[in-house]
Structure 1
Amino acid sequence: MAVAGATSSGGGEKADAAAWLAVIAGILGALMATLDISIVNSALPTIQGEIGASGTEGTWISTAYLIAEIIIIPLSGWLERVLGLRTLLLGVSVLFTGFSIICGSANSLGMMIVGRAGQGITGGALIPTAQTIIAQRLPREQQPIGTALFGVVAIMGPVVGPVIGGWLAENVSWHYAFFLNVPLCVALVILLLVGLPHQKANLGELAKADWLGIIGLALGLGGMTVVLEEGQRVQWFDSSLIQITTALSVVGFICLFAGQRFASRPVIKLSLLLDRQFGSVSVMGVVVGIALYGTSYVIPQFLANVSGYNALQSGLVVMISGIPSLFLMAIVPVLLKRLDIRLAVAMGLLFMGGSALLNARLNSLSVGHDFTDGQLLRGFGQILSFMFLSQAVVQSVPREDAGDASGLFNAMRNMGGSFALAGISIIQDKRLWLHERRIEETLNANSYTVQHYVGANGGLMPAAGQLEQQIMNQAYVMTYNDIFWLMGVGTLAVLPLVFFLRPLPKNAKPAAMH
């Protein structure tokens, strides 16, 4: 059966210009969405200061995006059937840009969170639909080219995001990290109108939707995230907010599981998790999400709070992890044929866990180049883990469940990122307080060392201020070391799950990933 937009040339099919324009549109949309996952990371300290958010509250700027993506990714296939591919992409592209303008204009944390959640709920649909365009508009012989282009964007978007965001924050304004999406959207809309044919909407699908599951997914994940993010700050269940959101989360998950029982086509096919291989892949996906999103968030925070780096300098350090990813991407087809999946995933997890443990040995004099080895190791680890786990997802379920499995795997990985950011917020609060108190306990006001320090620094008041700053600095270093250590050990802890993986077929082709 010929692929729409393909023309015959010689012995095989070739995609025409309109088909390639559609593919470029899909990849451009995915680029916008993946860039905005991390474009705020390096500029986050600056943004927090300007909108009046604390370090703990600032994690919401990243978490809101990830949670919204988790909700929309499994719904993308259904929305495509309801609205048609072109209508869906035009709608989410325009809305994504509108929410980007809200983020760029934000002067409060609440306004920023609304904008970021809107970006996630619309941008999340841009990523799987890019894969759909490649599958629908390119003939089989040319699909590896489209998949490779998508893979480069999927990997490099989150990596170069902090650099672009950092450069704009330092040389223009952090607001333009979001306004950048306006010209990209204009180009995307033009490409979609030219490259994709209009499809008639099928509003009858609305009646068949798993509304219990959709509502449950939003309430369950949204409520759980609020509990994790805000619980520590408001003393957990002493707060009516936590009590209410916990109840909503429980109701949400009940609705989600009810949808599994009563819906003809559940929004997320959770029964797939009962498969030994797919369940193992999903757990590893959560852990990889924790390691990836957690480290890309913590490194800029350390460099800003301890090393005094600006947003651009922090972004350049984060970008180092993209170098091995680009190198390996070119030889992935060879690796898929030659390298046993169990060995590849084990190596990926070892590299990612090892990189976090390398970063757990920081001190107050650590600067950007102290992250180089860890970042290079992480880059090798993430491409091995992502590519082979993505391939395992496709191979571990029946062909008719491949779309559901891909959506569930991507949602699980993003959930890992959300858990990481919420967990970092809690750990940072608790460990920072603990380390400050422990350091203070070692300082006796009557000791010779303290008395000498006071005398050498101009008396009690000046010395007290400097000493407090030094205690805070050391406490930050110890806290970030704790976070890196936990991420490293947590990543290595799932290594035994690789034994549940089955070898890939010898003719395996790269599976699209996000």
Structure 2
Amino acid sequence: MNANPMTTETQAPRVPLALERDVTRVQTPPAQPAAAQVTLTMRIALGLVGMLFASLLAILNEQVTAAAMADIQGAFLIGHDDGTWLTALFEAANVATMVFAPWFGITFTLKRFTIGAVRASMLFGLLCPFAPNLPTLYTLRILQGIAGGCLPPMLIIVALRYLPPNLKLYGLAGYALTATFGPALGTPLAALWTEFVDWRMAFWQIIPLGVLCCFAIQQGLPADPLKLERFRSFNWIGFVTGFPAVAMLVIGLLQGDRLDWFDSALIRVMFCAGALLLVAFLVNEWFHPVPFFKLPLLARRNFTHGLSTLLGTVILLVGIAAIPARYLAGVHAYRPLQSAPLSLWLAVPLLIMLPLTAALLNTRRADHRWVIATGLALMVATCALGSFMTSEWIRDNFYLLQSMQIVAQPMVIMSILMGVTTGLPPTEGPFASAMFNTVKTFSAAVATGLIEGVGTAREHFHSSMLVDQLGNRALVANQAVAADGLGQLAHRLHEQAVVLTSADLYRVMACVAVALLLLVLVLPVRIYPPWSTTPPSSH
């Protein structure tokens, strides 16, 4: 598609002296004609709500099936290893699709493409419980991953296109809701379906929401004309290199710990071939006239900061959510039902905190750099407190840590979205959406690989150290065996290893948060809300 030239952060009007130093750092774009007035009607609002629910549908489909995987494996009589491939293949298809979904969305129109993807997700979800064998189930999950990967990128494009400047941050808060509230609902919904209803609902839950999405989008969004002529300049090299590159890297990350990383020939092939194809894809995108990734956007400092910070932030979000669940399951044998209140404690208040954070950033006095720094500082404090955990901790001990995340997560995510999208014209929205969503979902795979890899290594280390220390104290060991039995002693050693590993993972997450905090000091520049950087004629 023909995109406008790359824009940079726009300079705001004259501000008080205290802000003078920040304003001088903001680049001034060349003069541009005033943008056409954008008004939000009730019909467009209905379409936007439909897009929001479609994105939430994709997140819930991913998270709930992952949380209910043990019950799904039991229903299909498949082992743990086969079950991990159900998740890995779905995630690989999901992440790889997000690279190209915006291009196809513009070509087939946002309305038709999104409705088609929602219908496909519902159809494959309906069929999954009836799969006659494992290969068929794998195929259905891959197809559902492709359909689900088409949905989240559409939300950013629609928000940038249809929302007036004074409401854009609230629209982005809706997108942030799918990235924070949606994953937090995964465990509670999985517990609801598997404990009280039926495991099939892990697949079928998206059908009622999907029907509502299709109705809202059909009634709300305007019907743009098809642009099938864009296939004449389709970036075939980018497609045949980018899709397998991302898919192979995701599979390598998700299967690496189970297959012992580079000791496995499959993992070596996934990483090496995936990395080479990714380099070829990025080189092609730089020179191709109609790319999927518009790499010159990285010249915008806030865009680069947003993507780099997003990578670390998703690792933090996944890690801070996974560590308590991993600990409670390993030490106290919690099922999803017992862990659900902890997730709900985080999820429900986000419905309030995200709009409040958007309102804060929508004022000229709020500096998004200070907001993101405050959020990251709270994440550092959360991880620092978590590193002092003991085997006595139960679910109640994590409520304070989750309460800090209720404030921290909206601050970080909303500031990132503001930095990435401010000054970005709607014509460049598809490029930004492709890059942002791909990095977001790929980062989740990186986080999973990091937590599993580091967790396994540290658990083995702590187990060995505990056994060595016990072996050096023969009298204590003999008394423990005599009192509790060998099996109980082994359980206590494993329990303590899990506690020490969880504390180590919190320390790793703290290091990631500190690195992101330091990045705030050097990379982003001062920006102002979208309404204040818009010419007066477009208000």
Which amino acid counterpart does residue 525 of structure 2 have in structure 1? R
User: 1:289 deviation in Å?
Assistant: 0.6
Deviation readout 1:452-495 (Å, 9 max, x if unpaired): 233334xxxxx112222222222222222222221121121121
Q: 1:213 to 1:165 in 2, by over 3 A?
A: same
Q: Greater CA deviation, 271-280 or 383-392? A: 271-280
Q: Does 1:15 align with 2:38?
A: no
The aligned counterpart of 1:190 is: 215
The aligned counterpart of 2:441 is: 414
Which amino acid counterpart does residue 524 of structure 2 have in structure 1? L
1:341-352 → structure 2 map (5 Å cutoff): 341-352=368-379
The aligned counterpart of 1:291 is: 316
For residues 94 and 373 of structure 2, the distance between their equivalents in structure 1, rounded to whole angstroms, comes to: 27
User: 1:497 deviation in Å?
Assistant: 1.4
User: 1:112 deviation in Å?
Assistant: 6.2
For residues 148 and 520 of structure 2, the distance between their equivalents in structure 1, rounded to whole angstroms, comes to: 32
The aligned counterpart of 1:444 is: 471
Which amino acid counterpart does residue 183 of structure 1 have in structure 2? P
The aligned counterpart of 1:166 is: 191
Instruction: Look up the SS of the partner of 1:321 in the other structure.
Output: helix
The aligned counterpart of 2:410 is: 383
For residues 87 and 177 of structure 1, the distance between their equivalents in structure 2, rounded to whole angstroms, comes to: 26
For residues 260 and 401 of structure 1, the distance between their equivalents in structure 2, rounded to whole angstroms, comes to: 15
Which amino acid counterpart does residue 491 of structure 1 have in structure 2? A
Instruction: Look up the SS of the partner of 1:354 in the other structure.
Output: helix
The aligned counterpart of 2:519 is: 497
The aligned counterpart of 2:354 is: 329
Q: Greater CA deviation, 361-370 or 269-278? A: 269-278
Normalising by the residue count of structure 2, what TM-score does the alignment of the two structures yield?
A: 0.81
Contact in 2 for aligned 1:300/1:315 (Cα 8 Å): no
Deviation readout 1:56-94 (Å, 9 max, x if unpaired): 886666555554443333423211222222321222112
For residues 392 and 255 of structure 2, the distance between their equivalents in structure 1, rounded to whole angstroms, comes to: 32
For residues 63 and 292 of structure 1, the distance between their equivalents in structure 2, rounded to whole angstroms, comes to: 20
User: 1:139 deviation in Å?
Assistant: 6.4
Contact in 1 for aligned 2:90/2:141 (Cα 8 Å): yes
Deviation readout 1:220-277 (Å, 9 max, x if unpaired): 2222233333344434444332343234213411331232244112111233334433
Q: Does 1:470 align with 2:499?
A: no
Q: Does 1:368 align with 2:395?
A: yes
The aligned counterpart of 2:501 is: 479
Contact in 2 for aligned 1:84/1:199 (Cα 8 Å): yes
Instruction: Look up the SS of the partner of 1:266 in the other structure.
Output: coil
The aligned counterpart of 2:11 is: none
Instruction: Look up the SS of the partner of 2:51 in the other structure.
Output: helix
Query: 1:175 pairs with 200, 207, 214, which one?
Result: 200
The aligned counterpart of 1:4 is: none
Q: Greater CA deviation, 379-388 or 78-87? A: 78-87
The aligned counterpart of 1:3 is: none
For residues 86 and 393 of structure 2, the distance between their equivalents in structure 1, rounded to whole angstroms, comes to: 27
User: 1:35 deviation in Å?
Assistant: 2.0
Which amino acid counterpart does residue 479 of structure 1 have in structure 2? T
For residues 339 and 326 of structure 2, the distance between their equivalents in structure 1, rounded to whole angstroms, comes to: 8
Which amino acid counterpart does residue 15 of structure 1 have in structure 2? T
User: 1:187 deviation in Å?
Assistant: 3.0
For residues 269 and 342 of structure 2, the distance between their equivalents in structure 1, rounded to whole angstroms, comes to: 41
Which amino acid counterpart does residue 475 of structure 1 have in structure 2? A
Q: 1:483 to 1:147 in 2, by over 3 A?
A: closer
User: 1:196 deviation in Å?
Assistant: 4.2
Which amino acid counterpart does residue 496 of structure 2 have in structure 1? Q
For residues 348 and 141 of structure 1, the distance between their equivalents in structure 2, rounded to whole angstroms, comes to: 23
Which amino acid counterpart does residue 50 of structure 2 have in structure 1? A
1:239-278 → structure 2 map (5 Å cutoff): 239-278=264-303
Which amino acid counterpart does residue 164 of structure 1 have in structure 2? L
Q: 1:22 to 1:503 in 2, by over 3 A?
A: same
For residues 400 and 88 of structure 1, the distance between their equivalents in structure 2, rounded to whole angstroms, comes to: 18
For residues 322 and 141 of structure 2, the distance between their equivalents in structure 1, rounded to whole angstroms, comes to: 16
**Over aligned residue pairs, what C-alpha RMSD do you find?**
3.3
Instruction: Look up the SS of the partner of 1:502 in the other structure.
Output: coil
Q: Which runs of 5+ in 2 are unaligned?
A: 1-36, 534-539
Contact in 2 for aligned 1:83/1:201 (Cα 8 Å): yes
For residues 115 and 291 of structure 1, the distance between their equivalents in structure 2, rounded to whole angstroms, comes to: 31
Deviation readout 1:391-432 (Å, 9 max, x if unpaired): 001236677534423431232222221101011222232222
For residues 194 and 327 of structure 1, the distance between their equivalents in structure 2, rounded to whole angstroms, comes to: 28
Q: 1:492 to 1:162 in 2, by over 3 A?
A: same
The aligned counterpart of 2:121 is: 96
User: 1:285 deviation in Å?
Assistant: 0.7
User: 1:436 deviation in Å?
Assistant: 1.6
Q: 1:291 to 1:149 in 2, by over 3 A?
A: closer
Q: 1:12 to 1:378 in 2, by over 3 A?
A: closer
1:44-123 → structure 2 map (5 Å cutoff): 44-47=69-72, 52-54=78-80, 64-101=89-126, 103-104=128-129, 114-123=139-148
Contact in 2 for aligned 1:168/1:177 (Cα 8 Å): yes
Q: Does 1:213 align with 2:235?
A: no
Contact in 2 for aligned 1:14/1:142 (Cα 8 Å): no
For residues 227 and 507 of structure 1, the distance between their equivalents in structure 2, rounded to whole angstroms, comes to: 40
For residues 72 and 354 of structure 2, the distance between their equivalents in structure 1, rounded to whole angstroms, comes to: 34
Contact in 2 for aligned 1:226/1:245 (Cα 8 Å): yes
Deviation readout 1:143-171 (Å, 9 max, x if unpaired): 67755555545542222232112221221
Q: Which runs of 5+ in 1 are unaligned?
A: 1-10, 458-462
Q: Does 1:126 align with 2:126?
A: no
Normalising by the residue count of structure 1, what TM-score does the alignment of the two structures yield?
A: 0.85
